[in-house]
Amino acid sequence: MQSRVLPLEEGKDPTPITKTNHSRVLPLKLLKFFGLFLVLGLGFSILSMFMIRYLGVQNVLTTVQSSFRPCLEEPSSLEHWIRPPSILLHTMNDEELFWRASLAPRIKKYPFMRVPKIAFMFLTRGPLPLSPIWERFLKGNEELYSVYVHSLPSYRDEFPPSSVFYQRQIPSQVSEWGKMSMCDAERRLLANALLDISNEWFVLLSESCIPLHNFSTVYHYIMRSRYSFIGSFDEPGPYGRGRYNWKMEPEVNITQWRKGSQWFEVNRRLAVNIVEDNKFYPKFEEFCRPACYVDEHYFPTMLTILTPHLLANRSITWVDWSRGGPHPATFGKADITEEFLKKILEGHKCLYNNQPSSFCFLFARKFAPSSLEPLLQFAPKFFGF
């Protein structure tokens, strides 16, 4: 044994000697180790330098990337182009996002089985107090819908993985009622939803909206309609034509000026029209400011000019203006009675595919958080879910 040979340590307990010996060997090992690393590192740098010099940076990068590509991805297959983004958060700004979302196929026949989906787009400040009713409404129809939520950028929701709202927040910005930032938020929702090629219909909703029928009824009503449901009417008074500004000519003249509720349902073609627009946007941004509430005029007017033959000119979201004033009625717990629900569901008149109909509304607003409990209770009997 080596330790015993050391003369200075004679007669002492051998344990500490072994320790000294060990600590002498360790640096040597470490040194060898570092040496190996140094050689390896040098070799690698020389190799990369060589590769960059003779193959070019791009080639080296592609070589590196291709060797790290996960085996799921098949960039050369059609699947790659039709799969929706699995993560909604992205780093595109609006300009980049709208450009990407405006890419639309020119061949109308899809070369694959495409099941058209409804995109439910929630424009909110933060929490969704009525989410349980939407969860119940959507449950079991996973192939036929997708959900998008635009909220204040600082807001983080806490839905569990089992929720239909789980990780469905899109990159958002502050938006104010009646201002262009509100239309920006709506376009942002449309653009994000357009990234999923299966989304065919786009419904704008708020945190105070509820569905009035079961999912299959809603789906078929929208699918079978020849028109998109966006409120659009020519109102002569101060709150209609009175908000028109002559400086909007020639893009928009007074006879084309329209008003309508912001809660729309549009098909994919109109959604692209809205996202790609750079002709009407500057006019509305500059000349429709409070007391001209741009979210009530921009899309109805623009779509009336571009595609009047595709508009139903009415909304499918019921709202109660009968109390008067600048805001519609909000309903709480005490308002939710059988009579009230009958009133919402019955006694309406409208056109559906040019035929007179009494079935006019698929959604309703505005409902306070306190209405949730009675609504859930009445839903099976009145809404069918």
Please give the residue ranges that form the binding site for ligand NAG (CB under 6 A): 214, 216-217, 227, 253-256, 304, 308-309, 311-313, 384
Nearer to ligand NAG, 146 or 304 (CB): 304
Nearer to ligand NAG, 292 or 350 (CB): 350
Give the separation between CA 132 and CA 363, rounded to whole angstroms: 15
Residue 79: CB minimum distance to ligand NAG, A: 31
Q: Is the peptide bond before 132 cis (omega within 30 degrees of 0)?
A: no
Closest CA to 88 of 181, 151, 175: 151
Residue 248: CB minimum distance to ligand NAG, A: 11
Nearer to ligand NAG, 227 or 363 (CB): 227
- For 205, phi then psi, to 5°, come to -135, 160
Give the separation between CA 382 and CA 375, rounded to whole angstroms: 9
Residue 217: CB minimum distance to ligand NAG, A: 5
Residue 305: CB minimum distance to ligand NAG, A: 8
Residue 370: CB minimum distance to ligand NAG, A: 27
C-beta of residue 121 within 8 angstroms of C-beta of residue 190: yes
Length of the chain counted residue by residue: 385
Nearer to ligand NAG, 153 or 308 (CB): 308
Distance of CA 234 to the CA centre of its chain: 31
Helices (H), 288-368: 298-306, 338-345
Give the separation between CA 239 and CA 244, rounded to whole angstroms: 9
Handedness of CA 298, 300, 301, 307 (dihedral sign): positive
Amino acid at 381: K
Nearer to ligand NAG, 307 or 370 (CB): 307
Residue 253: CB minimum distance to ligand NAG, A: 4
Nearer to ligand NAG, 148 or 219 (CB): 219
